[in-house]
Structure 1
Amino acid sequence: MMKYILLMFFMTPCLFMSMSWYMYQIMMLLVMILMMMSFNSSFFCNLSYFLGIDSLSYGLIILTFFIGFLMINSSNKIQLSSSNNFFLVVNLMLIFCLFMIFSVLNIFMMYLFFEFSLIPLMILILGWGYQPERLISGLYLFFYTLFASLPLLLIIMNFYLIFSTLFFDLIYYLNLNFLLYFCMIFAFLVKLPMFMLHFWLPKAHVQAPVSGSMILAGLLLKIGGYGIIRFSFMNEFSFFFFGYTWFSACVVGSVLVSLICLFQGDVKCLIAYSSVSHMGMCLMGLLTMTKCGMIGSFLMMIGHGLCSSALFCLANMMYERLSSRSFFINKGLISFMPNLCLMMFILCSFNMSCPPSINFISEVFIMISCISYWSHSIYYLLFISFLSACFSFYLFSFSYHGQYFMVYSYMINSVREYLLLALHIIPIFMLVFLIDLIFY
């Protein structure tokens, strides 16, 4: 595992070369391919120093490097600016933090990089955001995460005093104290985010540049799910005993957030709120504490990371051409950008979990686990799925249909943009054929 860290460390001088923009993308793909070739076990493998990967962290690390490559591919306007080298350094710091979160075996090291990932993300939002409101949205993100993660530090100190170790697989906690359980899970609920703790997410998404939105939707929300899975193995009794509290909030919250999506006027706001709804379903699967629920939630994290990232790319393509993200101005885009209409339709279909996407498989698994956990949840789940289809259809029909506000105009997209969207769509579809590897 140290070879990946050293590779990323020695990439830093390359970021100040004349061809650094393309060098960074090639190196991200190279690290991703090396990682794909090195995995050889469903249990912890590639153990070195305090690092190791298993089947859970493996998928998220591959997604980290892949989204890291696509982030730079989508930010062509920054490439022409004078700050492009600094932008690459900030992105590399963020990718390194995420890699360390998903690969460390020590709880304190995970907490350290969990907190440190805020700094490059704040720099991305404040440095390359759009409106002056990015200052307040950055503060929302910073203080929400900081306030929620301080109790987690106390729990980690408590673990060390009791067990004299902080390795994930050496801790098994049997305490049924709700306060301890709340402190343990609260930081991850905010990061996920759960309904009622989600107010920072739309603000951060709307003000972030396209690369910030992609990494936020694609990976930083997944840290919450990853942390809950890791801690649920350490304290199973508390998760069994108190899980219904968050399950109830997620069931109601996913319905309410889906309704909120239907009267949004901003494209990025709608995609951000749809992330809250999908992550609510993901949390419901995790809280059932079943194998089916965990696999479904893991697959939803992968599928949503790719699908939501691609939708933010499309929203940015609209914004670059029309200088607006409003549904009331971005109407009739089938006349303006007809060649992206199919891409938008496919992504909206995948966002509502239509087959043959990995999102569909994940939603089926989550529904099975939730119905086995509480039989009456089927009514809520059907309503959530229906509203998910409604807001995805609303996103597509309101932006691409209707009367265009110009008399005549036509825009041809670049090959880079087609490549960017195709690289999001193909894995969502192709992962369906690798589903048997999850059960291996």
Structure 2
Amino acid sequence: MLKIMLPMIMLMKFKNNWSLIQIGLGLLSFFVGLNCFSNMYMYNLGFGLGIDYLSYIMIYLSSWIMFLIIISSSQVKFKNKFPTMFIIVNLFLLLSLYLTFSTLNYLLFYISFEMSLIPTLILILGWGYQPERIQAGIYMLFYTLTLSLPLLCSLLFIYYKEGSLTMLLMKPVYVLNYVSMMWYFSSIMAFLVKLPMYMFHLWLPKAHVEAPVAGSMILAGVLLKLGGYGLIRVLILFQKISLNFSWLWVSVSLTGGIIISLVCLRQVDMKSLIAYSSVVHMSLVLCGLMIFSWWGLMGAVVVMVGHGLCSSGLFCMANMVYERVGSRSLLISKGLLNYMPSMGLWWFLLSVGNMAAPPTLNLFGEISLIIGLMSWSSLSMLGLMLLSFFSASYTLYMYSLSQHGIFFSSLYSCTSGKVGEYLVLFLHWFPLNMLILNLSLVNGILTYS
């Protein structure tokens, strides 16, 4: 793990050289890709750090998204909005994500999980657009911190009982009583907020709307996946208890997903619509994780990766429109095909990815989740039908309203797109559609984890 972390820490030394940081992060993500390892459960055991297949996929996703963030945030450099500080904050965030995904100790996992909150908050407060960003930052901070304190107490209780917090040495809890149920709920609530589950999601649209493009991309691309990753790691301890509450999580998630889909159909803010669609996708991921099935876990991991790439690309495009039009409102930024015709193709490609059309990763992931949920309970078919229908509805609503219609009359000149912007969108779209050719990697997760 040190061979991944040390080059990234060394990049902080060259924080004044924007081009070198871009090339360095690109090479780093390339070398992480080459670091695919043999079929073992844990790899690189040493210094309390190690990775399995799941950690490897998440680390690769983090490196790739951060590489794309630095390319798409070039306005920070051109307008001289404290570019050095921007680089340091992003690299520190990447370091905390590396630690979170590669640690073998629950306490270090908790510390690095919370550590990622600080640079995200600095990104929103420092480079956000409106004065409401302070409220958005406070929402995110307090939602996360309030429900992560019970997780810390739970980990200390585990240490008191077991004498260790090493993940591989933990014994599952089989006794079902009031104490174990409180212990279970206090352990998973922090991850449900981060995911975010319906009813704990109010911080997410505010944070997305007020964040700069870098904040939105890292939030959608990686930070929401921290919740799913944490649930996979923690639910190993509470399998017996969690099976008794599967009905609760699945029913809340499916109902909440349908309600949020209807909320999406009423949005006029482009970024807000994409942010709410993240809640819908993550509700399906939560269902897949909570039913403890092979198909559910496989689908959840694939949807997490696919959504990370697709949602990050959509936020990137929303920012490109905002830089030209000066507004994120779908009522003002209509008729984009008239003056950004070549960008219309990318809107289409990423929109169909968002509604899980072939050949995207989202399609395979959602099929796996639907198979898992229907085998768990045939009654969930109704919720899944409505969820799939409304997912397609709000994506079509976003695409048709933004691309068609009469464009705003005050827009007298506009560039269609720059080479760097097309490169970023291609690097989002290419892995989203090509990774479906090699899904044996996902089967490896389940076989060896």
User: Shorter-chain TM-score: what band?
Assistant: over 0.9
Higher relative contact order (CA 8 A, sep 6+): 2
Q: Residues 208, 82 of structure 1: CA spacing in aligned structure 2 closer, same or farther, 3 A cutoff?
A: closer
Picking from 295, 310, 321, the partner of 1:307 is 310
In the alignment, the residues of structure 1 paired with residue 414 and residue 203 of structure 2 have an alpha-carbon distance, to the nearest angstrom, of 37
How big is each residue's C-alpha offset from its partner over 1:287-330, in whole Å with a ceiling of 9 and x where there is no partner? 11011100100000000000000000010011000000001101
Letter in 1 for 2:315: F
In the alignment, the residues of structure 1 paired with residue 440 and residue 51 of structure 2 have an alpha-carbon distance, to the nearest angstrom, of 20
Question: What pairs with 1:86-125 in structure 2 (closer than 5 Å)?
Answer: 86-125=85-124
Question: What pairs with 1:24-423 in structure 2 (closer than 5 Å)?
Answer: 24-42=21-39, 43-80=41-78, 81-174=80-173, 175-176=175-176, 177-406=180-409, 409-423=413-427
Report the more deviating stretch, 267-276 or 74-83: 74-83
In the alignment, the residues of structure 2 paired with residue 139 and residue 131 of structure 1 have an alpha-carbon distance, to the nearest angstrom, of 14
Confirm or deny: 8 A CA contact 2:313 2:428 kept in the other structure: yes
Letter in 2 for 1:255: I
Confirm or deny: 8 A CA contact 2:324 2:414 kept in the other structure: no
RMSD, aligned CA: 1.1
How big is each residue's C-alpha offset from its partner over 1:325-379, in whole Å with a ceiling of 9 and x where there is no partner? 0011011110010011111011110100001100000000000000111111011
Offset at residue 406 of structure 1 (A):
2.1
Offset at residue 34 of structure 1 (A):
2.2
Confirm or deny: 8 A CA contact 1:300 1:363 kept in the other structure: yes
Confirm or deny: 8 A CA contact 1:28 1:69 kept in the other structure: yes
Picking from 16, 19, 23, the partner of 1:22 is 19
Report the more deviating stretch, 233-242 or 198-207: 233-242
Q: Determine whether 1:6 maps to 2:9.
A: no
Q: Determine whether 1:426 maps to 2:430.
A: yes
In the alignment, the residues of structure 2 paired with residue 340 and residue 10 of structure 1 have an alpha-carbon distance, to the nearest angstrom, of 36
1:233 partner SS: coil
In the alignment, the residues of structure 2 paired with residue 26 and residue 303 of structure 1 have an alpha-carbon distance, to the nearest angstrom, of 24
1:111 partner SS: helix
How big is each residue's C-alpha offset from its partner over 1:269-299, in whole Å with a ceiling of 9 and x where there is no partner? 0000000000000101111101110010000
Offset at residue 102 of structure 1 (A):
0.4
Offset at residue 27 of structure 1 (A):
1.6
Equivalent in the alignment of 2:447: none
Confirm or deny: 8 A CA contact 1:2 1:48 kept in the other structure: no
Gap regions ≥5 residues in structure 2: 445-449
How big is each residue's C-alpha offset from its partner over 1:175-198, in whole Å with a ceiling of 9 and x where there is no partner? 432211100110000000000000
Q: Determine whether 1:436 maps to 2:436.
A: no
> Quick one: percent identity of the two aligned structures?
45
In the alignment, the residues of structure 1 paired with residue 131 and residue 116 of structure 2 have an alpha-carbon distance, to the nearest angstrom, of 23
Gap regions ≥5 residues in structure 1: none
How big is each residue's C-alpha offset from its partner over 1:80-125, in whole Å with a ceiling of 9 and x where there is no partner? 2151011000000000001110000000001001111111111100
Confirm or deny: 8 A CA contact 1:267 1:395 kept in the other structure: yes
Offset at residue 21 of structure 1 (A):
1.0
> Structure 2 length as normaliser, TM-score?
0.96
Confirm or deny: 8 A CA contact 1:229 1:286 kept in the other structure: yes
